[in-house]
Amino acid sequence: MSKPIVAIVGRPNVGKSTLFNFIAKKRVSIVEDLPGVTRDRIYMDAEWLGREFTMIDTGGIEIETTDRILAATRHQAQLAIEEADVIIFVVDGKTGITTADEEVAAMLRSTRKPVVLAVNKIDSPKDEPAVYEFYNLGLGDPIAISATNALSIGDLLDRVIELLPQTEDAEEDDDVIKVAFIGRPNVGKSSLVNALLGEERVIVSDIPGTTRDAIDTYFEKDGTKFILIDTAGMRRKARINQPVERYSVIRSLRAVERADVVLVVIDAVDGVTEQDKKIAGYAHEAGRGIIIVVNKWDLIEKDSKTALRYTENIRSEMAFIQYAPVLFTSALTKQRVQRISELVKFVAEQHAMRVQTSVLNQVIEDAIRINPPPTGRGTRLKIFYTTQAEVKPPTFIFFVNEPEIMHFSYLRYLENKLREAFGFEGTPLRLVVRGRK
Ligand code: GDP
Ligand code: GDP
């Protein structure tokens, strides 16, 4: 189910990322130190009083067209207005109201989205009088916080979750595979979607998506049911000749949230970009099935090794998703477009696969025999028992004597053994280590 999105906006240096980092629940991830995943992190799953949401630091969203602070801040606020469910507007209690603050406030006043005004850097009670000035922004009662001293962040979050939309009980039909096409403008997403939906023997219908003006497309092919998430723009576009759309990170993120399988579409000529890595990294962390689609393959001059070399390059650029299959397509010539739905179906199955406990434990025992677990604290790690706790993505719990001795590289090794034994192609795996009481 899709989590609501909370966006932090405000001009540079007011303390957005400090606040963001404080709130975001730290999740232990076995990929923590792989490049491209956690650096410049701008989204995080967070939770307060049992409500889960995705938090975005819009200050971290790269704006391509401008280097001016005001324009950049305004643009980020615009993104938040378009895509977020609740907006936290952070201002600096030490500097007072600036022109940029006033501009952003004017934009926020004219939206119907709920806004929480946070006056940051109120580090002690004696700073509090500075807050009153901010009533002039016309955004209701400001909340005085200190991100560095962790003051009143709880009050801020209380206000935020009051304003979150009620999560609709999603139409959870487990038979339907939810698919998101993600990628920069112009890589050919619309063309691929239209080619896919234009195939014979495809039954298509539109259903409203969760965001305003989002339309999902339902289709059936060879007895498998799919929902293409947020396809409205894509299907429309190929009919009318629309200008190149802006790349909306938040919109992509929301689509990833809702998907089972994410297709990261890359332009064969341009290759992998930073933006592609970020979105793929997010899909990985969110535990979605991932397929890399290299489109416009018709534009590449090829010899017998081209695809192999291209794949190797992608593998090194996106080292954190070695498991993702790479598909070379052309929406123009329809080359391998047919393969897309087959591969999505396959990856969705891998993503939802549950393995037998007895076989699982056999595989782990064999792995331990070949390569014994690490030692530390004067003892050797013992893995007593392994169980698959969840699917989508497959999540394994290892019950051990001393969790602290488990080493990143050994988890890596176990993950590889699980993949050798069971496949799990196209899906991230989660490996959890627990001490046995
Ligand atoms: P951003 O550009 O809005 O993301 O701002 P940062 O989070 O990078 O913070 C800018 C500066 O303000 C940093 O030097 C922070 O240490 C400082 N800062 C952030 N929050 C507070 C706070 O609550 N009190 C004080 N005194 N300084 C803060
Ligand atoms: P989107 O912005 O990602 O949805 O991209 P579009 O589907 O609108 O495609 C952008 C441009 O690339 C259009 O001019 C398409 O005709 C062209 N295009 C899309 N796919 C291919 C392809 O496989 N090969 C070639 N040569 N051009 C393509």
Give the residue whose CA is nearest to atom 17 of ligand 1: 15
Rounded to a whole number of angstroms, the CA Rg of the chain reads 24
Structure confidence by residue, pLDDT tens digits, 274-304: 889 988 998 999 999 999 999 999 999 999 9
Cβ of 330 less than 6 Å from ligand 2: yes
Task: Say whether pLDDT at 220 is over 60.
Answer: yes
Ligand 1: which residues within 6 Å by Cβ? Answer: 10, 12-18, 59, 120-121, 123, 146-148
Q: Are strands 261-267 and 176-182 parallel, antiparallel or unpaired?
A: parallel
* Nearest atom within ligand 1 for CA of residue 120: 23
Top mutation candidate among 191, 239, 295 for ligand 2, by most atoms within 8 Å of CB:
191
185 in a known ligand binding site? yes
Cβ of 196 less than 6 Å from ligand 2: no
pLDDT at 176: 93
Mean pLDDT, rounded, for 352-359: 93
Beta bridge partners of 395: 390, 430
Q: Is 330 helix (H, G, I), strand (E, B) or coil?
A: strand
CA–CA dist 16, 44 (Å, integer)? 14
pLDDT at 26: 47
CA–CA dist 62, 291 (Å, integer)? 24
Provide the pLDDT confidence category of residue 213 given band limits of 50, 70 and 90: low
92 in a known ligand binding site? no
Distances (CA, A) of 414 to 212, 215, 361, 422: 43, 41, 12, 12
**Which structural domains are found in the chain, ordered by start?**
5-163 (3.40.50.300), 176-350 (3.40.50.300), 357-435 (3.30.300.20)
379 in a known ligand binding site? no
Top mutation candidate among 181, 182, 184, 186 for ligand 2, by most atoms within 8 Å of CB:
186
Task: Say whether pLDDT at 197 is over 50.
Answer: yes
What type of residue is 362?
A: Q
In this prediction, the answer to ipTM > 0.95 reads no
Task: Say whether pLDDT at 63 is over 70.
Answer: no
pLDDT at 73: 75
- Nearest ligand to residue 252 Cα: 2
Residue pointed to by tokens 């700073």: 127
